[in-house]
Structure 1
């Protein structure tokens, strides 16, 4: 495996759980059964005891984003399970069904912050590609006109204030951009020139040269980028989505690109996902799509194993958990 040198970028420090909020330590099961050899070894290296799913199980390391039924079957069958570690930063695949368990005290941790560096790197790549018309040029079979825009001195609006946003702010700094972060709270995000709340999104959107979506997929963010907001953007602006596909109304984006209402788009996530073969966006000269590859398995596995190590130690001894997730809120 290639040695990548990524580090976590956390928007919140480890949280120490005490009293009734802290799950009872005990044996740990890796699910789905037969998966996660590396995850199993990470549990052992952190001092945990791995067991097949049974009455003795107190913690779960879950390894799948798509095959989620075994998780809920385990929680229903063994209500003494007190902690679940999920494999990705986004928890939208599990959130609504996990919410009742969390309300009863289940501690849920995700990989939030673990994958911030590779995803932010990809966001920058998609931004530059969209501005430089690389979708068009990559398909060209003959010399064409000189096209492209520059990132230098732009106003970049980032929706979301997690580790990806924090890391992207750092990567953008050499370009001399002005940055606005849009988040739920008004708490300033370090490194941003301005932080505004979600209800101010429509105010800052028309000012943006680049809009980067790095937010969770929730009921509130569904189709946040719709036909009206695309029309509100500059005709010279680009849209980059490395968050979740449902943040963008795909049909509205296709129409906006065809009407040249925005300059271009870079998408690592789509709605639906995968985007069907033959969908018009694949061949749209203003759109570059990558197949949810901002963080490849080779990049993410070492980071996930580090998160498992931290949280197994927290589960067994310190009570400190990294990446606490809230299924009720959806992230």
Structure 2
């Protein structure tokens, strides 16, 4: 099998292709493409009739779906699950910072202890979208003795959660929101999950609860969230992703006493590239062995 890495020929990914057992080649001669370093709109420059498989570098495929690049006749695989551990660590960090009010102490210019400090230990954590990231977060939370509530697409029980509901189970989602001290958003961005956390969902959250979003900004109604934070009913919101993104300079969320914003940094390139290389090597090996690929994109589902 001949594989091309591009538009940017990252050496780590080329090494992964070779380690998986394939041969590096030009785009024109390749039956497989490991995409890195360019927007989906550039895909047409490397696409050709002999292309059979494309490995994408991200877990979310929204830009690819929107661009129309996911054409028939080609198997596309995402990096779904590849970065779960890294993003889960960031989610836990955001939870701890919010619970202990570290953001307020970091911004302070005088010696003063903030009000509202609490702990994560013994709390109830609700996970909206308990896939790879959610499961990794549950494992990290075990030493904290938390009670986990989960929502996923299938409704199949999630290991470590005391209850799991289907995403379309309205009453189940409402129960999760009402009981959780921390609500973690980790679902894929699709038409069905757009503004999943809206004004109604925020109003149903437990007083003093924290919202943590490590998925996509489109899953949370930013205007409704800002209004809820201003009202003071929520403990706060910790956001690694926002809508719009990037968040405009001077946006109220940046300095809001109940908000923590990180610039989509849960999966920095220093951690992304090694993890992606491992996925590339594994999927190349699987392709050559005739085994199912990891992260096959379901265009109808949107991820």
Cα RMSD (Å) of the superposition?
Answer: 1.7
SS of the residue aligned with 2:249? coil
Residue 40 of structure 1 and its aligned partner are, at CA, apart by 1.6
Alignment TM-score, normalising by the size of structure 1: 0.86
1:82 to 52, 59, 83: 52
In the alignment of these two chains, the number of paired residues is 299
How far apart, CA to CA, are the structure 2 residues paired with 1:116 and 1:261?
31
- Return 292-301 or 214-223, whichever deviates more: 292-301
The answer for unaligned runs of 5 or more in structure 2 is none
Question: For 1:210-269, what per-residue CA distance to the aligned partner results, in whole angstroms no more than 9, with x for missing partners?
Answer: 100011111111111111211111221000001111111111111111111211111111
Distance in 2, matches of 1:39 and 1:327, equals 25
Residue 95 of structure 1 deviates from its aligned partner by: 2.5
SS in 2 for 1:211: strand
- Equivalence for 2:100: 132
Once the two structures are TM-superposed, the CA of residue 120 in structure 1 deviates from its matched residue by 0.6
Does 2:7 align with 1:38? no
How far the C-alpha of 1:67 sits from its partner, in A, is 1.7
Aligned position for 2:31: 58
Alignment deviations for residues 48-93 of structure 1 (CA, whole Å, 9 cap, x no partner): 1222221x321110013x6221224433xx1331111010122222
Aligned partner of residue 320 in structure 1, secondary structure: coil
* Alignment-derived partner of residue 160 in structure 2: 191
The whole-number CA distance in structure 1 between the counterparts of 2:234 and 2:240 is 18
Give 1:186 shift: 1.6
The structure, 1 or 2, with the larger RCO (C-alpha pairs under 8 Å, 6+ apart) is: 1
Q: Aligned runs of 1:1-331 on 2, under 5 Å? A: 26-32=1-7, 34-54=8-28, 56-64=29-37, 67-75=39-47, 78-97=48-67, 101=71, 104-147=72-115, 148-198=117-167, 199=169, 200-331=172-303
SS in 2 for 1:196: strand
Following the alignment from structure 2 to structure 1, what is the Cα–Cα distance between the partners of residues 78 and 70? 17
